[in-house]
Homo-oligomer: A and B are copies of this chain.
Amino acid sequence: MSELHQNKVSLPVIKRLPKYYRYLSEMHQNGVVKVSSSELARMMGTTASQVRQDFNCFGGFGQQGIGYQVDVLLSEISKLLFSEGDLDTILIGTGRLGRAISGYLTGEARGYRLIAAFDKSPKEVGQPLGGLQIQDIASLSDFCQEHKPQVAVLCIPKSSAQELAPVLVGLGIRNFWNFSHYDLSVAFEGVTVENVHLGDSLMSLGYRVRNCQ
């Protein structure tokens, strides 16, 4: 039963896939061949039930009585995460954070191709950034019409994001890695947004530290 019956996978499951990928990659590198749901659960700090339920969202990856083959599991999850080639991606905002993220995208990340970076500051425009040349935000429209990027990474302040979001959506971009503190998903329907709200993250840590939770 190895075909995918991935009708509608819940967000909690999707969010766990990368963690499975990390642990399985490591095991694979260490030459581990076989793993059971309970071993994997113990390593990852979860339950065997959850591991099996999660994998069964995508079809049967294991062998009853035996367990899971690490390479099979890894390649199936890789297919889910990275299939169909790299995603053409543009970066908006080349400040400190934008530059760090650009390095991450080009260097370590898998499944994405950074094809352009934009900034509105004349100081930034024309500067090199990881093999690319930073472009003026004014040329965004032309660029998108020509290259049809699939993903935009927003490393800009809230106010700029609020301004730019309708433009980007209007240009056909439907997927966002959003570092701005503007809530894209509240304003736009049918758009896929992965938020990295550093401020929120830090505040919720602060709450837990101060209130001992």
Are B108's CB and A203's CB within 8 A?
no
| Cβ < 8 Å to B, chain A residues 4-26 | 6, 8-9, 14-15, 17-19, 21-22
**Nearest CB of B to A185, in Å:** 7
0/1 per residue, A76-109, Cβ < 8 Å to B? Answer: 0000111110010000000011011101110011
Q: Known contacts A100-B96, A104-B198, A108-B199: does B213 contact A175 (CB below 8 Å)?
A: no
**Nearest CB of B to A80, in Å:** 6
Are A17's CB and B207's CB within 8 A?
yes
Q: Check: A1 CB closer than 8 A to any chain B CB.
A: no
> Which residues on B sit within 8 Å (CB–CB) of A87?
206, 209-210
Interchain CA distance A202-B177 in the complex, whole Å: 7
Q: Check: A64 CB closer than 8 A to any chain B CB.
A: no
Are B9's CB and A204's CB within 8 A?
no
Chain B residue, CB-CB nearest to A4: B211
Interchain CA distance A81-B19 in the complex, whole Å: 29
> Which residues on B sit within 8 Å (CB–CB) of A45?
183, 185-186
The contact of A197 among B18, B151, B185, B206, by CB within 8 Å, is B18
A-B contact pairs, 10 of them (CB 8 A): A17-B203, A45-B185, A81-B210, A82-B206, A99-B100, A111-B202, A177-B201, A192-B208, A192-B209, A194-B205
Can you name 16 extra interface pairs (CB under 8 A) apart from A112-B202, A177-B201? A15-B204, A19-B200, A44-B183, A45-B186, A81-B203, A81-B206, A81-B207, A83-B210, A101-B198, A109-B199, A150-B209, A151-B205, A175-B209, A177-B205, A194-B205, A196-B198
